[in-house]
Amino acid sequence: MQRKVFQLLVDNTSGVLSRISGLFSRRGYNIDSITAGVTADPRFTRITIVTSGDDEILDQIEKQVAKLIDVRDIKELKPNQSVYRELAMIKVKASANERQGVIAVADIFRAKIIDVSPESLIIELTGNQDKIEAFINLLDGYEILELARTGIAGLGRGIENVTYLE
């Protein structure tokens, strides 16, 4: 089993996400995470999919996704030639006494406190998945009330592999 990050550029049509996720589910492919958002050109959406499988499955994923009519482009974002980021929001239970401890950990990770209430804090953290995992592990002594993660978004480095929109 191997993990791959694919970047897709798709037509911003209704149902495009369901066509893609439907393809994954009916052919039994894994989706570890999927993120989608409109590009600078509103006609297009960029989707980042993290998936896993053996070589043949990953090859089929790439070909079957490319075959979808709405998909303009699919490419692998190789770890050494790309940057990945994920955003996590973590709501931690913290009384006034505990608050400073949580803030100290958050500072080390350059996370932001985006909400404070008498008994909890919400922390916002951006980074690659390892960083987010490490941060969550560090919060071990605290009670995590709620956690929301966006899944990975990514881009290739440099200008060599840019798909230009006409």
SS3 per residue for the chain: CEEEEEEEEEECCCCHHHHHHHHHHHCCCCCCEEEEEECCCCCEEEEEEEEEECHHHHHHHHHHHHHCCCEEEEEECCHHHEEEEEEEEEEEECCCCCHHHHHHHHHHCCCEEEEEECCEEEEEEEECHHHHHHHHHHHHHCEEEEEEECCCEEEECCCCCCCCCC
Minimum Å gap between C-beta 60 and another protein is 6
Placement of tokens 């911003």 in the chain: 12
Cβ 19 vs Cβ 81: under 8 Å: no
Q: How far is the CB of 160 from another protein (least distance, A)?
A: 22
Minimum CB distance to another protein smaller for 17 or for 147: 17
> Of 27 and 78, which CB lies nearer to another protein in the complex structure?
27
Q: Which spans of this chain sit near another protein (rule: CB under 8 A)?
A: 10-11, 14-15, 18-19, 22, 26, 56, 59-60, 63-64, 66-67, 69-72, 166
Residue placing its CB nearer to another protein in the complex, 63 or 110: 63
Min dist CB 63 to another protein, Å, is: 4
Cβ 72 to another protein, closest distance in Å? 4
**Which of 46/132 has CB closer to another protein?**
46
What is the closest distance, in whole angstroms, from the C-beta atom of residue 18 to another protein in the complex? 7
Q: What is the spatial distance between Cα 123 and Cα 112, in angstroms, rounded to a whole number? A: 6
User: Nearer Cβ to another protein, position 140 or 166?
Assistant: 166
